[in-house]
Amino acid sequence: MDPKTVYLIAALMMLANGGVLGLMHGDLPHSLRPSAVSWRVSTLVHACGCLLFLVQDLAPRAVMLPLGNALFVLGFTGYWRALRQFYGAPDSPWIWLPAIAGGGGVFWYNLVQPDMAARVAVLTLTWLFILGACVWHLHSQKRRARASSRRVMTGLFVGVMVFMLLRLAYFLIAGVPPGYRVSDGAYWINVASPLVVAAIPVIGTTAFLLMCSERIRRQWERAASTDYLTGLANRRTLADTGERRFAAGGGFSEARPGMGVALVDIDHFKQVNDRYGHAIGDVALKQVAERLEAACRETELPARQGGEEFVVLFEAVDAAGARAAGERLRQAVAAQPFMAGELKLAITVSIGVAVRAPGDAGFDDLLRRADAALYAAKAAGRNRVECAALEIEGGIPNYREPVQHPTP
Ligand SMILES: Nc1nc2c(ncn2[C@@H]2O[C@H](COP(=O)(O)OP(=O)(O)OP(=O)(O)O)[C@@H](O)[C@H]2O)c(=O)[nH]1
C-alpha cells in the first residue's frame, strides 16, 4: 500500500476518534475533563502530523518531515500529560523538554547537518523516553484487580516502543539506502510506520475511554458502598456483608466459633452537638471512625450504621474473643482525648457484642442481640462492653450472664 494512503486513512481515523472524544466530553465527570481535553488535543496534533506527511511534496520536504515528526513527539507528550492528569499528578512544564530537545535534534539533522541515521536515532530515543514515561506512569499506579483498560494501554505503548527499536535497528543494520524517501512504498517500514503511529491515537483513544468508564464505575461503587462522612462501609454494605457471612457460616456449631458483631455507640454525643455545634460533632464522628478502623484487625469490618452508631463485624469469634475485641475498640476510642481545632474532647463509646447463636435465623437477629447488649452497657454506666446472651426468648433477649464489669 502507498504510505500516503496510510497517512490519509490514519489522519481520518484520528480526526474521527478526536471527534468522538469531543462528543463524550460533556458526559465525563469534571475531574476527568482536563485529561480528556489533553488526550483529544494530542490526537488532533497527531492527525495534523499525518496530514503534513501526506502533503510533504507541497513544500520543501526538509521542513515538512521534521515538522511532522515534531508534531508526533508533541502529541505523545500530550498523551503523557493526559495520563498524569488522569492520575492526579501535578502539571509540570518539564515534561515538554524531551519533545523540544528531540524535535530540535530532528530539525538539526535535517536542515543544518543532514544525517538520516542520526535523525532516526534522535527521534527513536525521544519517542522511547516519552512513551517509557507513559508506561512508567501507568505501571506505578495502585494495582486494581479489574483495571483491564490500563493493561491494554500499557501494552499499546510497549508495542509502539518495540516497533521503534526495531525500526532503529533496521536503519542501523541495513543502513539508509541512497535516495531513500519516507513516502516510497517499496520499503515495508514506510507503510508500517504510519500504522504504528496511528495505534495510540486510534486504539489508545478507545482504551482511554475505557479507563474513564472504569474510573466512573469504581467511583459509583465506592459512593454506593461507603459512608460519605467517615469513609467506612455504609449500612448497605454492612447488611450485604453480614447476610453473606451469616449464610456462608452454615449452621450453628458449638465446636467452632462463628461470626460476631460489636455495636458501638458514642456516649452523650447529643451533648457534643449541643455544646459545640454539628460541625464539631462531624469532626468527632470522623475521628471515632478513624480510631475504630485503626483498631480493627484485617478480618474485621468496621461500618457506620447511621448517626453516632458504628458496627464492627468479626469473622470467627467465641464470646470471650468478641468481648476482648470489643474492649480493644473501646480502649482505642477512650485512650486519648479528641482534638477538634483548639478543642479537646473526652469521648467514650459503649459497646454491645454478640456472637452467632443457635437461635439466630439471620444477621438481623445477631444485630438485635448486640443492640440489647449495647442498651445494657448504656444502662450500666457507659464506656463499657457488654456481651449478649446466646438465647432469645419470645423475641426478647434474655441476659443470663450478670452484667458485672469493672468501671473504667
Ligand atoms: N454531628 C452529627 N451529629 C449526628 C449525626 N447523626 C446523628 N447525630 C446526633 O447524634 C446525637 C444522638 O443522640 P442520642 O441518640 O440522644 O444519644 P447520645 O446523646 O449519644 O446519648 P447516649 O447514646 O445515651 O449516650 C443526636 O444529637 C444526633 O443529632 C451526624 O451525622 N453528625
Is the pLDDT confidence value at 294 over 60?
A: yes
From the list 70, 68, 41, 40, the residue with the least C-alpha distance to 54 is 68
Atom of ligand 1 nearest to the CA of 271: 19
Please give the number of the atom of ligand 1 that sits closest to the Cα of 265. 23
Give per-residue pLDDT as tens, 130-147. 999 999 999 887 765 567
Pocket of ligand 1 from Cβ distances under 6 Å: 229, 265-270, 273, 278, 281-282, 285, 307-308, 378, 382
Ligand 1 mean position to 269 CA, how many Å? 5
Looking at ligand 1, which atom is closest to the CA of residue 266? 20
More confident residue, 395 or 199: 199
Q: What per-residue confidence (pLDDT) applies to 186? A: 72
Identify the residue whose C-alpha is closest to ligand 1 atom 12. 270
- What is the 285 CA–ligand 1 centroid distance (Å)? 10
Asked if the model's pLDDT at residue 363 lies above 80, the reply is: yes
- Does the complex come out with an ipTM higher than 0.90? yes
Q: What is the pLDDT of residue 358?
A: 84
150-195 per-position pLDDT tens digit: 889 999 999 999 999 998 888 888 777 777 777 777 778 888 888 8
Give the length of the chain.
Answer: 408
Q: Which residue type is seen at 5?
A: T
pLDDT of residue 255: 62
Which residue has the least CA distance to atom 32 on ligand 1? 282
Question: Parallel, antiparallel, or unpaired for β 396-397 and 385-387?
Answer: unpaired
Atom 21 (ligand 1) nearest CA: 268
Question: Homologous superfamily of 235-397 in CATH?
Answer: Reverse transcriptase/Diguanylate cyclase domain (3.30.70.270)
How high is the pLDDT of residue 251? 61
Domain borders along the chain are: 3-223, 235-397
Locate 167 and state its grid cell.
525500526
Atom of ligand 1 minimally distant from the CA of 280: 1
Mean pLDDT in residue range 392-396:
46
Q: Can you tell me the mean pLDDT for 86-115?
A: 91
* CATH architecture entry for 3-223: Up-down Bundle (1.20)
Query: In the structure, what pLDDT confidence band is assigned to residue 279 with cuts at 50, 70 and 90?
Result: very high
Instruction: Report the candidate in 258, 391, 378 with the shortest Cα–Cα distance to residue 319.
Output: 258
Higher per-residue pLDDT: 366 or 60: 366
For 175, residues 6+ apart whose C-beta sits below 8 A from its C-beta are: 117
What would the pLDDT profile of 237-258 be if each residue is shown by its tens digit? 999 999 999 988 766 666 667 8
